[in-house]
């Protein structure tokens, strides 16, 4: 891995300051009113998790489609940069950027719920994992669709299914396949961290190692497969 | 150095999906130090052949050996990071190619300067015109000092200065042993810059050779157009010339005096030009313009495409025949 794509992603993101500010402001404008509302905390955390999933998935999918349409992705691959390295660096840069952009609003939400920031660490840690997974979902969608319209629809469907499987919309019984799916979903730890951090829930947090392992395996295997698929897609 | 020749292909066949073949058993060899032009009408398969060589498509039949890895490529699309400056884009491309040394940066800056972008190098690309983007794409490609350069329609959007820069750059690539393959519709560019040309038509290579040789093989006449006022000469023109067409330079309904344009084909080039002018003068005509058009690669292209040479010349006659404002 040469790191050129990673550096380029950051250079472009930092140069596009307007977009950077929007990505800091929009989450706050959408989520803070929800946090201040009188909705039940279980509903608030669903909204928070849903937002993170969409933020990550759209944030990786749409630029990939756009760069594919403009020919930029093909240009990068034509320099001899490996498709896998290109995709992994892009994904990691996009995930870290998303994470950095969501840190402020996450801290605000935790502070609004509990009046202190001591419980923010689990939220921020699981936020990174959820964003990595959401970015991967967005990349999967980008590899399969042919237009921005399809991408928008695809991201919505894939995210909602993934969130449903994570037990975000309902709590499945632990001894069922749905319970197992929810337990290993990389979105689930974020939901639980929100419930602890952004509500008056129970104290304590156990690192979600299983979900972390699932995210890592999914990331490595998907990046390899998707890199090849994306490279072929740019060619035609 | 790399094994020579840099590109050897034979029997290359390709079609998109289930459509008809875009390339049918195409063969080519690109030698070191050569600037090879792929010349053909739209849809003749030039870009597809270029994409096969760039490794972006795989031939469905035939063999293709490209011995130089990761050639520098400028396709018809010109993608850049719009929010970065021209210089930053060049540096990014060099970094993607694994070239990050200070010397590489200097080469990038020199390449921008060679293409007349020194002053604009610190502007964001979003402010660049189409021609500047074309220059930037070429500067980027050449900054990596490639041994194999693939260009698709490199002259589109370039002004004469940009064309000169391109010509110089291609000469430099060729001089250091690099090879260039340029797909183009621009017959003038191909004549000027390419040491050899492959003429493509409907997915096949129909002629191959140095531009001069292809033009000579066509045995096309030189076209001389004389625009004059007053009485025109009668009878046959001087030796070696044949009258092709006479067209009034103003509409028939317009009042006299009408200037007229007469077109001659010459099998002896411009040798009979003086005799021709004397012939007109002797008849009392006043010559206003003499236009000489030597046969070129565009005529070879028309011939290959099955379009008569008259089609190419007719436009010129029409232009001469148009009434003066």
Instruction: Tell me the CB-side half-sphere exposure of residue A71, using CA atoms within 13 A.
Output: 12
pLDDT at B284: 84
Task: Give the whole-number percent of chain A exceeding pLDDT 90.
Answer: 55
Q: How confident is the model at residue B314 (pLDDT cuts 50, 70, 90)?
A: very low
Q: How confident is the model at residue B279 (pLDDT cuts 50, 70, 90)?
A: confident
Q: Are B50 and B38 in contact (CB under 8 A)?
A: yes
How far is B267 from A21, CA to CA, in rounded Å?
71
Residue B292 backbone dihedrals phi, psi, to 5 degrees: -110, 130
Q: Which pair of structure tokens corresponds to residue B38?
A: 């792929």
Mean pLDDT is lowest, of A13-27, B37-51, B232-246, for B232-246
Q: Taking CB atoms and an 8 Å cutoff, what residues of chain B touch A80?
A: 69-70, 96-98
Residue B19 backbone dihedrals phi, psi, to 5 degrees: -70, 175
How far is B2 from A102, CA to CA, in rounded Å?
50
Task: Give the whole-number percent of chain B exceeding pLDDT 90.
Answer: 54
Q: How confident is the model at residue A234 (pLDDT cuts 50, 70, 90)?
A: low
CB–CB of B70 and A80 under 8 A?
Answer: yes
pLDDT greater than 60 at residue B269: yes
Q: Taking CB atoms and an 8 Å cutoff, what residues of chain B touch A7?
A: 95
pLDDT at B253: 54
CB–CB of A78 and B98 under 8 A?
Answer: no
Of B56, B83, B95, the CB nearest to A15: B83
- Tell me how many degrees the CA angle A18-A24-A30 measures, rounded to the nearest 5: 120
pLDDT greater than 60 at residue B218: yes
Mean pLDDT is lowest, of B49-63, B71-85, B280-294, for B280-294
- Nearest-neighbour CA in chain B from A83: distance (Å): 12
pLDDT at A92: 92
What are the percentages of helix, strand and coil residues in chain A, rounded to 5?
Answer: 80, 0, 20
Instruction: Find the mean pLDDT for residues B131-149.
Output: 94
pLDDT greater than 60 at residue B250: no
Task: Give the whole-number percent of chain A exceeding pLDDT 70.
Answer: 91
How far is B229 from B246, CA to CA, in rounded Å?
13
How far is A89 from A83, CA to CA, in rounded Å?
10
CB–CB of B92 and A4 under 8 A?
Answer: yes
pLDDT at B62: 94
pLDDT greater than 80 at residue B1: no
Q: Is B69 on the interface with A (CB under 8 A)?
A: yes
How far is A119 from B152, CA to CA, in rounded Å?
58
* Number of Cβ pairs < 8 A linking chain A and chain B: 60
Scored b (16 or more CB within 10 A) or e, A17-36 reads eeeeeebbeebeeebeebbe
Q: Taking CB atoms and an 8 Å cutoff, what residues of chain B touch A11?
A: 81, 84, 88, 92
Q: What is the dihedral of CA B198, B201, B207, B210, to 10 degrees?
A: -30
- Tell me how many degrees the CA angle B146-B149-B151 measures, rounded to the nearest 5: 145
Instruction: Find the mean pLDDT for residues B67-71.
Output: 88
Q: Is B118 on the interface with A (CB under 8 A)?
A: no
Find which of B57, B58, B83 to mutate to test the A interface (most A CBs within 10 Å of its CB): B83
Instruction: Tell me the CB-side half-sphere exposure of residue A179, using CA atoms within 13 A.
Output: 5
Higher local confidence (pLDDT), B233 or B98: B98
Please write the tens of the pLDDT for every residue from A99-116: 999 999 999 999 998 878
Q: Please name the residues between 4 and 23 in chain A that touch chain B, using a CB distance below 8 Å.
A: 4-5, 7-8, 11-12, 15-16
pLDDT at A194: 86
pLDDT at B262: 87
pLDDT greater than 60 at residue A235: no
What string of DSSP letters covers B194-240? -SEEEEEETTEEEEEE-HHHHHHHHTPPEEEEEEEESPPP-SPPSTT
Mean pLDDT is lowest, of A190-194, A218-222, B162-166, for A218-222
By C-alpha distance, which of B189, B124, B113, B197 is closest to B158? B189
Mean pLDDT is lowest, of A1-10, A218-227, B2-11, for A218-227
By C-alpha distance, which of A100, A92, A89, A90 is closest to A23? A100
**Long-range own/partner contacts, residues A225-230 (CB < 8 A, 24 or more apart):** A226/A87, A226/A139, A226/A140, A226/A143, A227/A82, A227/A83, A227/A84, A227/A85, A227/A86, A227/A87, A227/A88, A228/A83, A228/A84, A229/A143, A230/A64, A230/A68, A230/A73, A230/A83, A230/A87, A230/A139, A230/A142, A230/A143
- Nearest-neighbour CA in chain B from A73: distance (Å): 9
How far is B47 from A71, CA to CA, in rounded Å?
15
Instruction: Find the mean pLDDT for residues A118-122.
Output: 83
Instruction: Find the mean pLDDT for residues B84-113.
Output: 89
Q: How confident is the model at residue A174 (pLDDT cuts 50, 70, 90)?
A: confident
Q: Is B135 on the interface with A (CB under 8 A)?
A: no
Mean pLDDT is lowest, of A156-160, B175-179, B200-204, B313-317, for B313-317
pLDDT greater than 70 at residue A33: yes
pTM of the model: 0.82
Instruction: Find the mean pLDDT for residues B67-76.
Output: 90
pLDDT at B76: 86
The dihedral sign for the CA sequence B101, B106, B107, B112: positive
By C-alpha distance, which of B273, B291, B321 is closest to B225? B291
């Amino acid at each position: 891995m040469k790191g050129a794509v990673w550096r380029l992603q950051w250079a472009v993101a930092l140069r596009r300051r307007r977009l950077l500010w929007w990505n800091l402001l929009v989450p706050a404008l959408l989520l803070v009113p929800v946090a201040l509302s009188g909705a039940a905390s279980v509903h608030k955390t669903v909204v928070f998790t849903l937002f993170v999933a969409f933020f990550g998935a759209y944030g990786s999918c749409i630029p990939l489609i756009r760069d594919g349409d403009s020919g930029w992705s093909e240009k990068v691959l034509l320099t001899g940069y490996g498709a896998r390295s290109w995709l992994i660096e892009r994904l990691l840069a996009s995930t870290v950027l998303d994470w950095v952009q969501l840190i402020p609003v996450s801290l605000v939400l935790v502070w609004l719920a509990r009046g202190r920031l001591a419980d923010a660490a689990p939220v921020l840690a699981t936020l990174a994992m959820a964003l990595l997974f959401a970015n991967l979902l967005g990349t999967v969608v980008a590899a399969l669709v042919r237009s921005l319209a399809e991408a928008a629809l695809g991201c919505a469907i894939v995210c909602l299914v993934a969130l449903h499987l994570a037990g975000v919309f309902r709590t499945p019984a632990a001894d069922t396949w749905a319970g197992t799916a929810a337990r290993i979903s990389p979105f689930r730890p974020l939901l639980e961290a929100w419930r602890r951090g952004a509500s008056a829930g129970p104290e304590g947090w156990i690192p979600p190692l299983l979900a972390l392992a699932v995210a890592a395996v999914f990331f490595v295997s998907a990046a390899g497969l998707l890199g090849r698929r994306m490279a072929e897609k740019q060619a035609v | 150095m790399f094994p020579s020749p840099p590109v050897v292909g034979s029997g290359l066949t390709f079609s998109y999906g289930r459509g008809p073949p875009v390339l049918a058993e195409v063969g080519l060899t690109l030698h070191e130090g050569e600037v090879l032009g792929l010349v053909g009408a739209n849809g003749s398969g030039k870009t597809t052949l270029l994409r096969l060589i760039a490794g972006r498509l795989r031939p469905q039949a035939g063999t293709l050996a490209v011995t130089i890895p990761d050639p520098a490529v400028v396709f018809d699309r010109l993608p850049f990071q719009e929010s970065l400056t021209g210089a930053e884009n060049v540096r990014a491309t060099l970094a993607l190619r694994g070239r990050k040394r200070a010397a590489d940066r200097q080469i990038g800056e020199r390449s921008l300067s060679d293409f007349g972008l020194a002053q604009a190098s610190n502007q964001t690309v979003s402010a660049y015109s189409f021609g500047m983007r074309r220059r930037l794409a070429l500067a980027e490609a050449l900054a990596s000092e490639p041994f194999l350069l693939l260009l698709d329609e490199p002259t589109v959007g370039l002004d004469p200065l940009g064309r000169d820069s391109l010509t110089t750059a291609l000469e430099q690539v060729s001089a250091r042993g690099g090879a260039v393959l340029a797909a183009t519709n621009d017959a003038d560019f191909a004549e000027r810059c390419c040491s050899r040309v492959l003429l493509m038509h409907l997915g096949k290579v129909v002629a191959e050779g140095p531009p001069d040789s292809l033009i000579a093989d066509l045995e096309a006449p030189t076209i001389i157009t004389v625009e004059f006022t007053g009485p025109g000469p009668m009878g046959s023109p001087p030796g070696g010339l044949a009258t092709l067409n006479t067209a009034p330079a103003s509409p028939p309904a317009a009042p006299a005096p009408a200037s007229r344009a007469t077109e001659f084909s010459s099998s002896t080039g411009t040798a009979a030009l003086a005799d021709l002018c004397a012939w007109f003068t002797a008849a009392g005509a006043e010559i206003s313009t003499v236009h000489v058009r030597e046969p070129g690669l565009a005529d070879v292209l028309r011939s290959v495409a099955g379009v008569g040479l008259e089609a190419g010349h007719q436009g010129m006659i029409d232009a001469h025949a148009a009434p003066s404002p």
